[in-house]
Amino acid sequence: MEESMKNAKIITLALLVTAGSLVGAAAQGTVPYYYGAAAQGAGPYFFNVRAMDYPLHERVIYPPRFAYTAGLPVLTSVDLESLSGGVFTDGSGRIAGLVYARIYFGGPNNHVTDYGAFSVTVTGTTGDRGTNPLVKITMRGNGYTFDGLSNHPNASLNLKFVSTNKLEDVRSTQVTINSASYSVTYADGSTQVFTDGPATKINSGFTFLSGTMKGNIKLGKNGGPQLTINEAGTLVTDGSIWTVADGTNFVEHQLSGGLVLDVLTNIDAQVIQPLPGSKLFLNANVGTLMALHAGTGSANTNTAKWNASFNGVAYARGSRFQANGNLGPVVVAYDPIPNTTNFLPRLVPNAIKDMTITSGKIFGQKVSKDLQGVSLWATPPSP
């Protein structure tokens, strides 16, 4: 009976770890009551001090940003709307997608008539120009147009976007209506009236990457001449912003979400560093998107040095970077001392102590040379 209760407790704890309610680590075959991760972590982790199997929480000191594409650019003369499908960028910077899209020739305020529906194939690349991201997107599509009276088949589009500027950040702002009575028009076109003013809406910050869009849209059989496009285009992060119309109406505008940013803030990994021997293996979650990378290299306890090459897996495939650094003591966990309020630190004497990323590319963009990072120690729980 006692053994059954013990097993039940271990199973219950394992379920809590899996659910994320408790970040845990196994220590040489046992499950501890607490694992204190510094800042953020990607656990749960296994831990075996004799085999040098331990968690790593590496923080990049000056984290760079990498931009990639997950949608279509925004235009000014026409409204380009993605209705289904998707656009994806892999770790090498290659862009590919298939989108069912509508183009409203009357702009964002005219979605009833004068539009075209297209099946759009999307290709392109993401790289860099100096310190700025360079995004090139080609869109080719076929479909029909509608002028409010008739459908016009055999319509087509051929557009190309090239970014020309750097990433631009817009800070969070707020807009206010002082009237007691006001209305709110949402991005889907619905409107509600309120009488609890004055009222304020908060615009969260967003980032955009501007460039140029060139090409043409053929309006279909008997639909008129082709439409030539040569204008500014913009990739914008996901979100919405509010404006005020006529002093009494909040209007919501949906941002496209065609631009995604990954910030190389962290490398959280499960490290396998067997002793004796010099091999090193890391299952790493990289950046704010926690992209999975496999790291392989060596750790030399005689020189207290390590090095590894990291290669992206799944959607991060094609992303790669090289890193090295020093070995040294790192506290990776804390266990409670029975019958006390104290905790015993788990110290790995020759763990990865710091990191220097020497070269690489993420989403087709170069990683700055000599990018520095430091391993964070686990923090003990509050008494």
Which tens digit of pLDDT belongs to each residue from 143-202?
A: 999 988 899 999 999 999 999 999 999 999 999 999 999 999 998 889 999 999 999 999
Q: How confident is the model at residue 47 (pLDDT cuts 50, 70, 90)?
A: low
Write out the H or E segment, with its range, that includes residue 14. helix 2-19
Structure tokens at 62: 């000056």
What is the model's pLDDT at position 1? 40
DSSP state of 337: P
Instruction: Using the predicted structure, report yes or no on whether residue 34 has a pLDDT greater than 70.
Output: no
Lowest-confidence pick of 25-39, 280-294, 323-337: 25-39
Model confidence, pTM: 0.80
Secondary structure (3-state) at 8: helix
Q: For residue 209, give the nearest of 132, 265, 122 by alpha carbon.
A: 132
Backbone angles phi, psi at 17, to 5 degrees: -65, -45
What is the model's pLDDT at position 253? 86
Distinct helix (H) and strand (E) counts, the chain: 1, 29
Secondary structure (3-state) at 314: helix
Respond yes or no on whether the N-terminal peptide bond of residue 225 is cis (omega within 30° of 0): no
Output the average pLDDT for the chain: 84
Instruction: Using the predicted structure, report yes or no on whether residue 215 has a pLDDT greater than 80.
Output: yes
How far is CA 18 from each of CA 13, 24, 44, 336, 379, rounded to the nearest angstrom? 9, 9, 7, 21, 21
Average pLDDT of the segment spanning 213-230: 91
Average pLDDT of the segment spanning 112-130: 93
